[in-house]
Structure 1
Amino acid sequence: MSAVNVEDSENVRTALNKTNDSQAVHDRSIGDIIRDARNLSAAEVERVLVYQRENGVRFGEAAVALGLVSEDDVLHALAQQFHYPLANAERRLSSPELVVLNQPFSVQAEAIRAVRSQVIMRQQQGAASSHASLAVISPQTGDGKTYFAANLAVSLAQLGGRTLVVDADLRGPRLHEVFRVPNNAGLSTILSGRAESQVIQGVEGVPGLFVLPGGAIPPNPLELVERPAFGLLMRELGSKFDHVIVDTAAAMYGSDGCVAAAKCGSAIVIARKDACRYEALQDLVASLSGSSVQFLGAVVNEF
């Protein structure tokens, strides 16, 4: 057991060092950021300034109107100035499910942010420990649990704190695909006592966000989650990160999700509109009653 904790502590320390290195403060103006990003010449900058003065618009609007930059360039400049991570074109293509990062002004992203606010308020008002991790559970596959967990983690990281998303779906881990991180080692490696390399991965382009992938699919996923090592790991990670979001296996495959929720301390249920059976949702919620889990509520996925 001590080997698990030592290995994880080393990974957490490495992750925290990366976080501190990536949180550089950018106090430059929008004009400076756009100029450097698009390599605008002194003459082009002067054209923008003249247009800005004559038309009473912002620097970015003037540069777009003159065709020197795109609206995306201005958006990314604003994101840098306000320390708000946004996806570049390559990220949008490789990680299409990360709508909070790819489409920050979409209906889906706004819905995720609304849930984020509710999660934070309910965790603060509830009886769970301030270091409690949040398990995302669902009745059946296809409910959008991984999609929700990934985007919730991104939205929490955008608040400026350190956020870790853990793939505890050891029956079909997928977070490494969503975030495009290596899956050579992960949660299953730690819980089986075989972690020999760094397993917590930083997410490129999103300061403060880290992923603990699932690792190799084990023959005994439920047993690994039920062992004391998982609970100890969740408590340690909860003390090292501001937020820990845990993706789990759908309840239709077994009790992995409920067991993980009990070890995490709090849980939220995801169900897909017009697809999830009411009885299955009711049974899942009922399975949490009588336990110490702080049930934060249910989210209906319409997308």
Structure 2
Amino acid sequence: MIFQEKETEKTDHSSSAKVGRLGDLFLQKGLLTESQVELIAAEQRQKKLRFGDAALNLGFLSQIQIDSALGEQFGFGSKDLINGKADSGLRFFHYPFSKEAEEIRRLRSELLLKFSSQDKIKIALVSASPQEGKSYMAASLAIALSQVGRRTLLIDADLRSGNLHNLFSLGNPDGLSSVLAGRIAAQNALIPLMDNLHILPSGPRPPNPLEILRAPRIRELLASCDNQFDAFVLDTYTSSLASDAQMVAHQVGSVLLMAMKDVTLLSDLREAKSDMQAAGAEVIGTIFNENSSGDGTGRLSRKWLSWVKKRLPYGSKRTASSRG
């Protein structure tokens, strides 16, 4: 599979994403007829509503369709990637005006403040148990950082079960394992996804992931890309199942923990925090993810467990459910 830097296409995407009027955009997409647009305009005037609210009142459009169109109108909504295609479950990309997207942007703002005195943002996403939404959050956060002009590299450092390449329909390309094993140069493995966003997939499954990730290999990789990127977001393997996340965190320096409602045990979360601190990494906070679908892509809660307070709640030994 050949991945290309499509400079001309990036320009086309930028210009096509900015559409002056929502009505025109929906007409272009074939989602509304001219007569429906006229009815919506009349509803707007009569009830003093926004275009989207009037369309909802009349039943012509869904909220999802309106959110997607607003994203295109303001230049960061659903559009083609430079390479691959964003999975429909990557809601931050497809529905940038959803409540979940707002929460991810809030997290982005907190991170920008946290790292304001540093030249680079380097963060590893870590979870104590599988299916807590860590990979989804890593991808969403990387996209969010790229949208505010930060040149961002999303790295899939889960060499055992990494699947970020599937989120972007990239096939099975070479990636981190190939780079760390010395098979290819890092620059040959980076895949452009959007303006200001590249991904380094996990690559072929190695027989010895922990050995390949050992220090200082990740640190040297980040240093080699230092002039090219402003932010590095790394996904990791489940911390309770192997020491890979510890090894990565040790070299990255900063960690965000993931916890999921009714899934994560507080005892496991404490242990993960302790492991990361023992590795010399700073745990800057924990994201509490409310998930109703069970696939790790549920909505992000407004409740933050110890965000930038560097302490976890003590008391009950577990969350509402014992599943983990």
TM-score, normalised relative to structure 2: 0.70
SS in 2 for 1:226: coil
Deviations 1:232-287 (A, max 9, x none): 21123344223221001111232211221122221111123333333332232223
Q: Structure 1 CA distance, aligned partners of 2:209 and 2:286?
A: 25
Distance, in Å, in 1 between the alignment partners of 2:31 and 2:98 is: 30
What's the RMSD between the two structures over aligned residues? 3.8
Aligned to 2:176: 187
Native 8 Å contact 1:141 1:252 kept in 2: no
Q: Which residue of 1 is the match for residue 249 of structure 2?
A: 261
Map 1:83-162 → 2, pairs under 5 A: 83-86=75-78, 95-124=87-116, 129-162=118-151
Distance change in 2, residues 1:30/1:160 (3 Å): farther
Counterpart for residue 73 of structure 2: 81
1:215 to 203, 220, 226: 203
Deviation at 1:26, TM superposition (A): 3.4
Distance 1:38 1:220, change over 3 A: same
Q: 1:213 Cα deviation (Å)?
A: 0.9
Alignment of 1:210-249 (within 5 A): 210-249=198-237
- Deviation string 1:39-92 (CA, Å, 9 cap, x unpaired) is 98989877877776677655666777888877655544432231122379xxxx
In structure 1, distance between residues paired with 2:52 and 2:248? 48
Alignment match, 1:294: 282
Letter in 1 for 2:201: P
Shift of 1:29: 4.0
Pick closer, same or farther for the CA change 1:23–1:294 going to 2, 3 Å: farther
Q: 1:133 to 1:40 in 2, by over 3 A?
A: same
Which structure 2 residue ranges, 5 or more long, are not aligned? 292-324
One-letter amino acid matched to 1:246: L
> Does structure 2 retain, via aligned residues, the 8 Å contact 1:119–1:296?
no
For 1:240, what is the secondary structure of its paired residue?
coil
Of Structure 1 and Structure 2, the greater helix share is in 1
- The structure 2 residue matched to 1:169, chosen from 130, 139, 158, is 158
Mapped partners of 2:143, 2:177: distance in 1: 23
Change (3 A) 1:19 1:195: farther
Counterpart residue type for residue 302 of structure 1: E
Structure 2 vs 1, CA of residues 39 and 183 (structure 1 numbering), >3 Å: closer, same or farther?
A: same
Following superposition, the deviation at residue 175 of structure 1 comes to: 0.8
Preserved contact between residue 153 and residue 199 of structure 2 (Cα < 8 Å): yes
Higher RCO (CA-CA < 8 Å; seq separation 6+): 1
Q: 2: CA distance between counterparts of 1:97 and 1:42?
A: 32
Change (3 A) 1:177 1:288: same
How far apart are the structure 1 equivalents of 2:259 and 2:227?
30
1:200 aligns with 2:187: no
Distance 1:110 1:42 in 2: 32
Tell me the distance in 2 between the aligned counterparts of 1:76 and 1:50: 23
Q: Are the counterparts in 2 of residues 132 and 235 from structure 1 also a CA contact under 8 Å?
A: no
Number of residue pairs matched? Answer: 283
SS in 1 for 2:286: strand
Match of 2:315 in 1: none
Residue-by-residue CA offset, 1:201-260 (whole Å, 9 max, x unaligned) = 233xx5433321101010111111114332121123344223221001111232211221
Please state how far the C-alpha of 1:95 moved relative to its aligned partner: 2.1
How far apart are 1:298 and its partner, in Å?
Answer: 1.5
In structure 1, distance between residues paired with 2:113 and 2:62 = 38
* 3-state DSSP of counterpart to 1:274: coil
- SS of the equivalent of 2:199 reads strand
Where 2:77 maps in the other structure, the secondary structure is: coil
Unaligned runs of 5+ in 1: 1-10
In structure 1, C-alpha distance between the alignment counterparts of 2:278 and 2:7, rounded to whole Å: 36
Percent identical residues: 31
Residues of 2 paired with 1:233 and 1:15: CA distance?
Answer: 25
- Alignment counterpart, residue 263 of structure 2, candidates 268, 275, 280: 275
